[in-house]
Structures are given as structure tokens and as C-alpha cells.
Amino acid sequence: MRPVRKRTAAVNDPAPARAAVKGPAPARRRGRTAVVLLTADLRVHDHPPLRAACGAADEVVPVFVRDPAVDRAGFTAPNRLAFLADCLADLDRSLRERGGRLVVRTGDTVAETCRIAREADADEVHTAAGCTGFARARETRLRRALEEDGRRLYVHDGVDSVVPPGDVVPQGSDHFAVFTPYFRRWSERPVRAPLPAPRTVRVPEDLRSDPLPSRADVPGVSAGLAAGGETEARRRLRSWTSRHLGAYEDRHDVLDDRAGDGTSRLSPYLHFGALSPVELVHRVRAGRAGEEAGPGAAAFVRQVCWRDFHRQVLAARPDAVREDYRPRHDRWRRGDEAEADLRAWREGRTGYPLVDAGMRQLAHEGWMHNRARLVTASFLTKTLYVDWREGARHFLALLADGDVAENQLNWQWVAGTGTDTRPNRVLNPVRQALRHDPDGTYVRRWVPELAGLAGPAVHEPWRLKGPDRAAYDYPDPLVGLDDGLARFRQARGTD
Ligand SMILES: Cc1cc2nc3c(=O)[nH]c(=O)nc-3n(C[C@H](O)[C@H](O)[C@H](O)COP(=O)(O)OP(=O)(O)OC[C@H]3O[C@@H](n4cnc5c(N)ncnc54)[C@H](O)[C@@H]3O)c2cc1C
């Protein structure tokens, strides 16, 4: 029996439950049970594996496996564990509303999935395709193990991306290496219709489940971490798109987040699959009742495309998690001085208020505005000339949306080892601050020791002299911007 890779329909399909399928569609039989292995797809709406399993079987086992191998790979962090706990609790509630429940197991994902398939006497397992090397290797092992047991694995594409990696490729290559041509082709692709949540999910009664993890049991969580879960994701999607989407094109780079809504803050929900990117794009393109989707929607959808872009790069080049996508022969600074600079950057004490504000927002919320991510990452990799891997590791230790594809490839983009066509550009943190936080509100919020400095003066405290300067307990800049720039240009051989 061969495993089957399923594709949900790529086009608007009036009957989405009959999505296009590669290979034989399983016919529904009485008494039949299917397992749905959930990974980064913690939702009930627009869930192709769940819909397919509900369509094929009388009883369905939605299972999430807490796998120590994921921890060992170094990609778990308190903020994401807490957010995950929220997502699992919410998913369990949604399944219970539909007559079912979530089954949680702990152990090796492959062994546990096979065990539960045996216990439930399920002859098929449905799961979503992943884009990382880790996920793909796990899929291969699962397929083999299930085959040995006489069971069948269905892997569904298009669950955590709008366009699955590999579906849009340039001639003669397995992926796009530059965003703009990818975006053009991506935009031409019709997007399949989102699938409704199943009305009922019947789960066999006698299956054991470990207790659901709880956010309260996770130590070291950021005080300002958002609540996770599909219900919250859908609430946020509704309220943000109705009130702020229209202004996105103009406001997405505004750092002053007193209003807090220049961007959607949906990234952690997308990371855990609490929100479907397919549904997100549909909703945004559809606009408000009776209105055309405007430039805000177009700018937003373009941003969501970056997510798919990185996923298709990583699927083709799994080594880009750790290796330079485009090596620039960097000899990054190492040693005590570089370590001290890195520490100051992590702690938000570089002496550049915008950089420090971003780093402190990250520590407090487990999230950082995209513009601040760009500035803080450029400062580390270019002005301080410290290896992007160090910065990526720190971001992954804190970000609720910390995602191997998006984090590593954005870091590489900023460091100039990735897909940026201008790899040696350096963002000046003062100019960026004056442009994107002109009144200094963002900085004063996150660097309260400078709150006494009114207006844009907060961006350059080093201009103060004598006792005025001494009144502020805030460090001097780690390095002059001109010196940092000269060091970087020399290292890259562009001076
Ligand atoms: C150094 C660095 C590291 C980053 N690490 C991550 C990460 O680990 N996980 C992550 O999801 N994003 C990452 N990003 C991308 C981006 O900063 C976040 O997706 C965005 O800030 C999330 O906020 P939002 O949901 O309000 O975005 P919005 O502006 O509302 O955008 C909507 C969605 O589009 C997607 N998106 C927007 N910008 C990007 C981008 N540059 N790359 C990929 N997707 C994008 C996100 O899914 C986002 O939720 C990183 C960017 C940089 C520069």
C-alpha cells in the first residue's frame, strides 16, 4: 500500500470538501477510524486533513504529540510553549463543542502516532506537509512505520501556506531566489476556497490522553505575551481587518504602537496554524461587505506572500536554517569584545535608543514590530558585525512567532547572506528612528529611562552635554555609526 500525498483544490471550488486529490480518495465506510496528526495546524477551520478524515471515517482521532526531539532540536522556548498551551486548550474546546476532544500524547511522534493508530484500529493517518528538513524527515519515517503496519499516510499540502512550496517555480530551478518575481507568479495563482470547520467530530471514547499542558506551568514567559488559540486569532482577524486593514499600506511601518494596530500581530497564530493563511488571504481580499479590497489589503497580502516565499526557499534549501544561503565569506567578529557587544544588544543596552527599544519590546512581549526587527538585526549583523546565527538564536528564544523558515531567512536577508538583492545595505538606526518613530513615542515607551526627553531628541541622547547627559542613566553608543559602517564595508570588501 503506497502513501498518498493529497492536495486540496488550488482553485475556488464551490464544494471544497470534494477538493482535488492526487491518488485514490478514501471512501467512507461504517466503523472506520482515521487519525489526524496535528503539528502546526492547531485549528478546526480550513483544515484539510481534519476535513478529509471526517469525510472518510466515522470516528476521528485528532492527536497532538509532545515530542522531546523538538525540544532537543533547540527550537522550543517558554513563550512558544505557553502560546502552544493556549492553542491546544482552545482546540480541545472547539473539538468538544463538536462532540469530540483533543488527544495529547508524549513521546516520539512517529512511535506515538503508530501506537494510537493501532489502539484506535485506524487504517489511515492524515497530516499536514511541513517545509523544514525536520518535518520532512519525520514524514518519511512516519510513512515507513505506518506502511509496515499496513496503514496509510495522507500528507496534505496547502495547510500552512497559501501556495505550497514547489508549486510555483521558475524555469530550470526548484525555487525562486528573489521575492518580486515569486510574488508576481504567486499572485496569479488562484487560491482554493477555505474549508468550513466540521460540524461534528466523533472521537473514540476509550483512548487515553495525557493532560493538556497549561500556560501557568511554563516558567520564564514574557509578561506581555499575547493569548494564543484559534478563537483569539479569529477575533483579532475580524477586529483588525475591519478597523485597521485599510490603513495598512500607510501605517505598517509606524513604530509608535500606542494604538498598537498598525500591523495585525497575527504572526504567532499563523506560526501555530491557529489561523489558516489561505483563509486569511481570502478574507482580506474579499474586503468589507459591498466594498472593493483596497491598497491596504493588497499591501497586506504582499506581506503574507513573504511567508510563502521563505517556506519555498527553505523547502528547497533545508541547510539554510544554519548555513549561509549565499556565502559572503564573512569572518564575523568573535572573542570577548564581540561577546560583550552581543550581550549588550540582547539586553537592550547598545546606547542606540531605537535598537534598545526593539530588544526590550521583544523581551517583554515575545513579539517585535517588523521595522524594529529589521533595525535591530541590521545593527547586530552590520554595525556590530556579529554572526546572524547569534541574533537568530536570541530571537528564537523569545519570539512567540519564532519560526525556523521566517526567522532564519529574514535574518539571512538582513545579514546579506540571504535573498536580498542589495546584500550590503546598512540601516542607520537614527535615520530609521526619525522616519518611523518621529515623535519618539515608541522609544520612550520601551526605554523609560529616557522618558524625560521630549520629541525626536530621545533618539540621540549622546548629543546632551555635561549634567544634562549625566541625568540619564543610559549607556553611550557601543560604537560610532561611521566606525561600524567602515568596519562592515572593509569586511565585505566594498569600501
Ligand atoms: C530579523 C527578522 C526575524 C523575523 N522572524 C520572524 C519569525 O520568526 N516569524 C515570523 O512569522 N516572522 C518573522 N519575521 C517577519 C516579520 O517581522 C513578522 O512576520 C511580523 O513582524 C509579524 O507581525 P504582524 O503579524 O503584525 O505582521 P503584519 O505586518 O500584519 O503582516 C501579516 C503577516 O505577514 C507575514 N509577514 C509579514 N512580514 C513578513 C516577513 N518579512 N517575512 C515573512 N512573513 C512576513 C506574517 O505572517 C505576518 O503575520 C522576522 C523579520 C525579521 C526582520
* Cα-to-centroid distance, 267 and ligand 1 (Å): 6
Is 402 annotated among the ligand-binding residues?
yes
Within 13 Å, how many C-alpha atoms sit on residue 431's CB side?
5
The label of the residue with cell 521566517 reads: 406
Q: Locate 456 and state its grid cell.
A: 525626536
Phi/psi for 316 (5° steps) reads: -85, -30
Q: Which three cell numbers stand for residue 352?
A: 542606540
pLDDT, one tens digit per residue, over 389-411 is 999 999 999 999 999 999 999 99
Residue 485 counted as an annotated binding residue: no
Neighbours of 323 (CB within 10 A): 13
Mean pLDDT of 267-272: 98
Residue 120 has pLDDT above 60, yes or no: yes
Residue 124, SS3? Answer: strand
Strand 103-106 vs strand 124-128: parallel, antiparallel, or unpaired?
unpaired
**Ligand 1 pocket mutation, candidates 251, 406, 419, 436, criterion most atoms within 8 A of CB:** 406
* Mean pLDDT, rounded, for 223-238: 98
Sign (positive or negative) of CA dihedral 302, 411, 252, 77: positive
Q: Is 303 in the pocket of ligand 1 (CB under 6 A)?
A: yes
Report the pLDDT value the prediction gives residue 232, as an integer from 0 to 100.
Answer: 98
248 has binding-site annotation: yes
The Cα angle at residue 241 between residues 235 and 247, in degrees rounded to 5: 145
Single-letter amino acid code for the residue at 62: P
Residue owning the nearest CA to atom 49 of ligand 1: 267
| Helix (H) or strand (E) run with residue 126 in it | strand 124-128
The pTM for the full model equals 0.94
Query: What pLDDT does 470 receive?
Result: 94
The cell numbers describing 31, all together, are 466503523
| pLDDT tens, position by position, 40-72 | 999 999 999 999 999 999 999 999 999 998 888
Atom of ligand 1 nearest to the CA of 368: 21
| Distances, alpha carbon 77 to alpha carbons 74, 136, 400, in Å | 8, 22, 8
The residue written with cell numbers 466515522 in the block is 58
312 and 261 Cβ atoms separated by less than 8 Å = no
Q: What distance in Å separates the CA atoms of residue 23 and residue 233, rounded to the nearest whole number?
A: 34
Cβ contact 341:348 at 8 Å: no
Enter the C-alpha cell of residue 276.
489558516
Per-residue pLDDT, 478: 98
Q: What is the sign of the dihedral through the CA atoms of 28, 31, 37 and 42?
A: positive
Burial (Cβ within 10 Å: 0-12, 13-18, ≥19) of residue 211: exposed
Pocket lining: 407 vs ligand 1, CB cutoff 6 Å: yes
Q: What is the overall mean pLDDT for the chain?
A: 92
Residues present in the chain in total: 495
Average pLDDT of 261-267?
A: 94
C-alpha to C-alpha distances, 163 to 13, 140, 239, 304, nearest whole angstrom: 16, 22, 26, 11
The per-residue pLDDT for 20 is 32
Q: For 308-349, what is the HEC assignment?
A: HHHHHHHHHCHHHHCCCCCCCCCCCCCCHHHHHHHHHHHHCC
Where residue 74 falls among pLDDT bands split at 50, 70, 90? confident
The pLDDT, as a whole number, for residue 12 is 31
Instruction: Say if residue 459's pLDDT is above 90.
Output: yes
Q: Is 2 annotated for ligand binding? A: no
CA angle 439, 444, 447 (to 5 degrees): 145
Q: Averaged over 282-310, what is the pLDDT?
A: 88
pLDDT value of position 260 = 63
Instruction: Evaluate if residue 21 carries a pLDDT over 60.
Output: no
Instruction: Give the integer Cα–Cα distance in Å for 121 and 412.
Output: 46
pLDDT at residue 23 above 60? no
How far is C-alpha 251 from the chain's CA centre?
21
Q: Which of 93, 35, 27 is nearest to 55 (CA)?
A: 27
Residue 300 cell numbers, joined: 497586506
Give residue-wise pLDDT tens across range 97-112. 999 999 999 999 999 9
Question: CB-side exposure of 178: number of CA atoms within 13 Å?
Answer: 7
